[in-house]
Chain A
């Protein structure tokens, strides 16, 4: 598995688990294009924060890295790295590429 595939697995697992806990079918069957941010996602801000925390912990368990997925653009529906599953995966990959 490449690091990108591992990140994809971490993110999709966290998104689908969030779908289970929030009874959200779109998230249960999440793909790379699934929206995470904005009205169409069905996630409120607290669920999104919990999802981000799950991804951070998943990254810590698999890569042993303490990344913090906080971002100034997080609250922007147009630019937020949390807007879709694919953008979140890219964001995690970019954060892991940065030296600690």
Chain B
């Protein structure tokens, strides 16, 4: 059986890196991207130096991957940046940067992968949200708003691409111990965890379990869904 072709954005470190290692270990070919070089070396891994906000660069990357791999089976739209600040103290430039990476970056990749998948009549896309959306977390107005946009994109794209056999879903992790939350005060994390049904920070394996479920080759009927970890009620 031909190895599945997986594309993961934001793979230099954190969750993206862990997802790469997981799918490489399962025998998939993986194309990753980030704005900086990766230290990951594997015969089935290729790294693309690309900023997801750069539309032309993303178009080129997906055409290159499609040609090299013969198609794309899975897209994991992991690339994202966080910003914590009171809404009244957040600079406009920060809001633009967060929206550009989290929403526009996800949109660019979904559009290009979606075209390639629709032509083949199948594909699995997983976008990344956060529990900050359903919890309306104070201090994360811009970050949560950008991920709300990702959730709406997920639901609408699922309807538009469902007929082409392309499943589009999203996962909303709780805080996981990665660089993204490294700067968040411990008390803030503790108060967030207290609002979950299961009161602990997440682990990468928790997230991978949901992604594996969404992208299973026999998943042909679960689409447009947002799954939050930790028992957070969406």
Q: Which residues of chain A have a CB within 8 Å of any CB of chain B?
A: 45-46, 49-50, 52-54, 56-57, 60, 66, 68, 70, 100
Query: In the complex, what distance in Å separates the CA atom of A56 from the CA atom of B60?
Result: 11
Query: In the complex, what distance in Å separates the CA atom of A45 from the CA atom of B162?
Result: 12
What distance in Å separates the Cβ of A96 from its nearest Cβ neighbour in chain B?
14
Let me know if B56 and A53 touch, CB within 8 A.
no
Which residues in B have their C-beta under 8 angstroms from that of A49? 115, 118
What distance in Å separates the Cβ of B112 from its nearest Cβ neighbour in chain A?
8
Which residues in A have their C-beta under 8 angstroms from that of B164? 46, 50
Task: Assess A68 versus B119: contact at CB under 8 Å? Given A46-B163, A46-B164.
Answer: no
Judged by DSSP, the binding face of B is helix
Let me know if B56 and A100 touch, CB within 8 A.
yes
B84 at the A interface (CB under 8 A): no
What distance in Å separates the Cβ of A98 from its nearest Cβ neighbour in chain B?
11
Taking CB as reference atom, which chain B residue is nearest A44? Answer: B163
Q: Give 8 new A-B contacts, CB below 8 A, not counting A49-B118, A53-B119, A56-B115.
A: A46-B118, A50-B118, A50-B119, A53-B115, A57-B63, A66-B60, A68-B55, A70-B111
B192 at the A interface (CB under 8 A): no
Query: In the complex, what distance in Å separates the CA atom of A66 from the CA atom of B54?
Result: 13
9 pairs across A/B with beta carbons < 8 Å? Answer: A50-B118, A52-B115, A53-B115, A53-B116, A53-B118, A66-B59, A66-B60, A66-B63, A100-B56
